[in-house]
Structure 1
Amino acid sequence: MDNIEILTGDLAVAEGEKSGAEGGFRAPARGAQYHAKIKEAAELWGEVMHSGGIKGMRARVRLVESLSTSDFPYLLGGVFDRVLMASYGSLPSTWATFAGRTTVRDFRPKELVDLLGGRSILDPVGEGAEYPARKLTEGKYTLKVAKRGARIPLTWEMIINDDLDAFRDLPQRLAQGAVETEDFLATSLLVGSGGINTSFFKSANGNAVAHDPLTGENLDKAITAIGQRRDSDNRPISVPSFTLVVGPGLETQANRILQATELRFTDQNGQTTVTSNYMAGKVKLAVNPWLPVIDRSATAASSWFLVPTPGQAREALTLGFLRGHETPDLRVKADTGSRVGGGLIAPEDGSFDDDTIQYRVRHVVGAAHVDPKATYASDGAGS
């Protein structure tokens, strides 16, 4: 739990300070005394996790004693929540390199509208003639978010027998699960278990799956093919920057192509042309380890994709988050009951019914295809 060192310097945050991933969680309105207690709990937990010898033993004794007080378990829950948020914000992810990001207000499907028509070159207008009318149409892409989560039940005996080690990487595990869920959903827009996603890469969208292996010549061919397409107004498709998405098996080949200083092309007559590598500045590389995990087909290792780099007008893929809930939510189940003589009982003392201690994480996220016009996919099955 390496984030403890960072957290102990940041926990006494000002009221309403933003934390975690972009645009999401905000610290609840609490006073400075509360944040000071959270910081103290984080420091104690850090000593338990990282200190050895006499210092570590003393820290464990202090922690066990603190767990019996009325407020410390909730403070420790606050530490776990902040560790999860810090982990979630710092864990590497792949999806943002090839998919955009948006937010939705609720769980109902959100329509991403592309207003079509009216953008072609202007018609000549004769003297005294009426200006010609143009028809506008809409292309709609649907995004829907869904609630995802997990529950981790621990037992009172596990905590006693493991000297609290059962808690060691709980927030890190849940944060990792949230990040990998996002990567999984975004990658599922590209492939399914049977290969490339043909509900998006198809002839009707003008981006049917090709069979070219990944080479410099074929990557140039893909960029050229996209540039020759036209939109609904017969306007050219212009993409300033592409992202080449490959699995780990094609990482070396992709780097070899994009880092080369020159490109060599041989035409059908055997004539070789040498040019500078224009693709080095136009194409970014995204190595996606989830591609061969999701795709179990025979072409999983050879498939590659070209999509517009996120942030441009023709975004092809997007991940959606529920507004106000863009980051994981961690909770502990408080069903311990009350002492006969009065007073709260810590969640870490176990449930009233079965002595379990249950942590739960919730994450609301969804993924959707957007504009297929500037995309290219190949299963690499050709020779």
Structure 2
Amino acid sequence: MSVTMDAPQILTGAAAEAVASENLNAGGFRKPAVRDFTKLVETANLWHDFLHGSIRESKRAGLYIQENITTSDLPYLLGAVLDRELLNKYEEYPTVWQGFATKSLVRDFKPKKLNDLLGGRAILDVVGEGAPYKRVPLSDAEYSLSVAKRGNIIPVTFEDLVNDDLDALRNLPDRQASAARFTEDYVATSAIVDAAGSKTAFFVTVGTDKLTAANIAKAVSTVTARKDSEGLPVILPKLVLMVPPALQITALEILNAVEIEVSADSTAAAPRGAKTVRASNYLKAMVTLVVNPWLTVIDKSANAGSTWYLLPDPSGPRPAVAVGFLRGHETPDLRVKADTGQRIGGGAISPEDGSFDDDSIEYRVRHVTGSTTVDPLGAYASNGSN
């Protein structure tokens, strides 16, 4: 049975064949012959209408898929379309971790050593005529990064498909894509936060100041005044202010203000006896805001809602956090369990017909990721208790 679509084709011609050839096996589904590409395009358009079309288009596409869910190629083609939909949703889903952590790829599950060569960065010595150059030693600082498999299984029953007009499948890409992105954010945040709050073993300074403009300025001054192992200044082109949702409004008010109130000690023009003065808001150009809802998911302490963090920009030379992905497996992998058995008369049965034992249909997602802390010199935390 073929179907005529009212909506424009979302995949056409050679482009459709290229996409299909590249992605059909990503989710563990059978790769069809060349003659199946037209069916793949048709299935993709059906799925597009089902998810995004008008009420009439969605209903018609849903009925067609439901009526043909157990016929030869449609389940496999639908699986390939579901896999592509998952990847599209995954790419579109917003992330928090990219605002404060850098990305790193690893080749396997063994810990990866992130080496920071120390030494050799001191001020160059004057070399006299005919004199030898001074030799300076190098030393290594190592940061270990490893990744782990994560995933789950979403069960869908045969009755779900028949009675719920495929709603279980309709939401599957969204569920799995959000789960993968949430996992990345959780893993990245847990590198510097645990149930007790900020990890004191990593942060050079953990203060108690509340989130104010003066205290952010104090934190900026603290981290930019630090020196590395050779006594050289820590160059931080830009910093990230990371806060939980409870501090979002406060942080926005500070960073968007035209003027801010700072300590009188920070300016020579302050009137005698004044403790604070008004100044143009220089913090806006120095600090980028990241609101991280995972801070209060992980942090179970009494100060979870008031703790704030100053971190180096992840694109700079001294990132504080690295998030790792397994090379070649950077995106989620979606599979369907095929334990349907065979018909008495011969021939395979599609996974969407349900398992041999109980008619269940199970979709599994796998995502490989991990995190580690890197350089603490640009990091500062305050629990906001005072």
Distance 1:123 1:33, change over 3 A: same
2:297 to 293, 296, 312: 293
> Does the alignment pair 1:99 with 2:101?
yes
Q: 1:69 to 1:150 in 2, by over 3 A?
A: same
Structure 1 pair 262/160, CA: closer, same or farther in 2 (3 Å)? same
Secondary structure at the residue paired with 1:169?
helix
2:219 maps to what in 1?
222
Q: Give me the whole-angstrom Cα distance separating, in 2, the residues matched to 1:100 and 1:332.
A: 32
Are residues 1:15 and 2:12 paired? no
Partner of 1:242: 239
* Cα 1:255–1:334 shift into 2, 3 Å: same
1:240 Cα deviation after fit? 0.7
Select which of 353, 363, 376 maps to 2:380: 376
Structure 2 CA distance for aligned equivalents of residues 115 and 10 of structure 1: 49
Cα-Cα RMSD: 2.8
Equivalent runs, 1:1-383 vs 2, <5 Å = 9-10=10-11, 12-13=15-16, 15=18, 33-49=35-51, 58-126=60-128, 128-201=130-203, 207-267=204-264, 269-382=273-386
Q: Secondary structure at the match of 2:80?
A: helix
Alignment TM-score, normalising by the size of structure 2: 0.88
Measured in 1, the distance between the counterparts of 2:123 and 2:322 equals: 30
Counterpart of 1:158, as a letter, is D
> Structure 2 counterpart of 1:178, which letter?
A
Residue range with higher mean Cα deviation, 259-268 or 235-244? 259-268
Which deviates more, 227-236 or 161-170?
161-170
Q: CA deviation at 1:289?
A: 0.9
Contact 1:200 1:369 survives alignment (8 Å): yes
Secondary structure of the equivalent of 1:357? strand
- Check the 8 A contact 1:149/1:362 in 2, yes or no: yes
Q: Deviations over 1:48-81 (max 9, x none)?
A: 4566877655434422332222211010001110
Query: Is residue 210–residue 384 contact of structure 2 (8 Å, CA) maintained in 1?
Result: yes
The CA deviation string for residues 61-116 of structure 1, in whole angstroms up to 9 with x for no partner, is 42233222221101000111011111100011111001111101111100000000
Q: 1:305 to 1:10 in 2, by over 3 A?
A: farther
Query: Are the structure 2 counterparts of residues 155 and 339 from structure 1 closer, same or farther at C-alpha, using a change threshold of 3 Å?
Result: same
- In the TM superposition, residue 19 of structure 1 has moved relative to its aligned partner by 9.3
Tell me: CA distance 1:56–1:367, structure 2 relative to 1, closer, same or farther (3 Å): closer
Decide whether the 8 Å contact of 1:15 with 1:29 is kept in 2.
no
Q: Deviation at 1:157?
A: 2.4
Describe the shift of the 1:229–1:29 C-alpha distance in structure 2 as closer, same or farther (beyond 3 A): farther
Per mean C-alpha deviation after superposition, the further-off stretch among 179-188 and 117-126 is: 117-126
Task: State the 1:226 CA deviation.
Answer: 1.0
Displacement after TM superposition at 1:18 (Å): 11
SS in 1 for 2:306: coil
> Is the alpha carbon distance of 1:338 and 1:289 closer, same or farther for their aligned partners in structure 2, counting shifts above 3 Å?
same
CA distance in 2, matches of 1:340, 1:308: 64
Q: Residues 156 and 362 of structure 2 are in contact (CA less than 8 Å); yes or no, is this contact kept in structure 1?
A: yes
Quick one: distance in 2 between partners of 1:87 and 1:223? 37
For residue 67 of structure 1, give the secondary structure of its aligned residue in structure 2: coil
Q: Give the conservation status (yes or no) of the 8 Å contact 1:50–1:56.
A: yes
Q: Secondary structure at the match of 1:168?
A: helix
**What SS does the aligned partner of 2:362 have?**
strand
Q: Structure 1 residues 372, 86: CA separation in 2 closer, same or farther (over 3 Å shift)?
A: same
3-state SS, counterpart of residue 352 of structure 1 = coil
Give how far 1:241 is off: 0.6
Q: How many Å separate the matches in 2 of 1:166 and 1:375? A: 44
Separation in structure 2 between the aligned mates of residue 86 and residue 216 of structure 1, nearest angstrom: 40
Which residue in the other structure is 2:3 paired with?
A: none
Superposed displacement of residue 41, structure 1:
1.0
CA distance in 2, matches of 1:274, 1:114: 41
TM superposition shift of 1:270: 2.1
